[in-house]
Amino acid sequence: MFWLFNSSIGRKLVMSISGIFLVLFLLFHMSMNLTLVFSTEAYDMICKLLGANWYAIAATLVLAAGFFVHIIYALMLTLQNRKARGADKYASSNKTQTEWAAKNMFILGLVIVGFLLLHMYHFWYKMQFAELLHLPDAVSEGSGLVIELFSQPVYALIYIVWLFAIWFHLTHGVWSAFQSIGLNNRTWYPRMKCISNIVATVIMIGFAVVPVFFTFKTLCCGSVCCA
């Protein structure tokens, strides 16, 4: 078991598996968000299911562990690569074609985590944490909270910047994860590049729909309450 911690291959494997786990979470979270565009009732029902229930808390803890492992291993791999290669920080099979995202995975990760903390304050704190501790900030209707936030265009803009950082991170991250689990031959290299770009783009557009939709709704109608 220690090889997962001590060896370079073990670290890359843990990094890729935790990354794939986080991508699956993003696909689930994105699908859940999209229901809000069609029905506030359906969205609130899902939020209630994922509120202060024991299974939702257990899922949050598993998710937090996934983020924790991914970040700690990213730190270990970045330090290891820096030590081995000096300025060339991120491993790549073809150094001349190493893209911007590949070279800046750790920085992109830090930016994503920074925005994530803001996001947790916006939603998770009010919808799960405050409810759990019976704090006065607790909000039971997720739809109202999301719609209210994105009725302010500045927040839609902040979320779009965040989503761009996630897009860059995923275009390299998904490909790199598949490469680490063995799909790194000549046939699979272009396929995995293409799949990574598609996954990253679907996730970015899927998440962007909600802030863009509610910001435009507010700008066009003057109020989010209009039909």
Chain residues that interact with ligand HEM, rule: CB under 6 A: 26, 29, 33, 47, 50-51, 59-60, 63, 112, 116, 119, 123-124, 127-128, 142, 146, 159, 166, 207, 210-211
In the bound complex, what is the minimum distance in angstroms from residue 161's beta carbon to ligand HEM?
12
Task: Count other Cβ atoms within 10 Å, centred on residue 137.
Answer: 11
CA distance 170 to 95: 19
In sequence order, which residues have a C-beta less than 8 Å from that of residue 61 and are 6 or more positions away? none
Identify the residue whose tokens are 């060339």.
Answer: 88
Residue nearer to ligand HEM on the CB measure, 47 or 105: 47
The two most distant CA atoms of the chain are separated, in Å, by 60
146: closest CA among 203, 217, 201?
A: 217
Residue nearer to ligand HEM on the CB measure, 91 or 217: 217
Question: Would you say 129 and 60 are in contact if contact means Cβ atoms under 8 Å apart?
Answer: no
Residue nearer to ligand HEM on the CB measure, 108 or 166: 166
Residue nearer to ligand HEM on the CB measure, 29 or 193: 29
25: closest CA among 72, 58, 53, 66?
A: 66
Residue nearer to ligand HEM on the CB measure, 132 or 183: 132
In the bound complex, what is the minimum distance in angstroms from residue 166's beta carbon to ligand HEM?
6
In the bound complex, what is the minimum distance in angstroms from residue 190's beta carbon to ligand HEM?
27
Residue nearer to ligand HEM on the CB measure, 59 or 107: 59
In the bound complex, what is the minimum distance in angstroms from residue 118's beta carbon to ligand HEM?
11
In the bound complex, what is the minimum distance in angstroms from residue 174's beta carbon to ligand HEM?
14
In the bound complex, what is the minimum distance in angstroms from residue 130's beta carbon to ligand HEM?
10
Q: Is 71 helix (H, G, I), strand (E, B) or coil?
A: helix
CA distance 23 to 5: 22
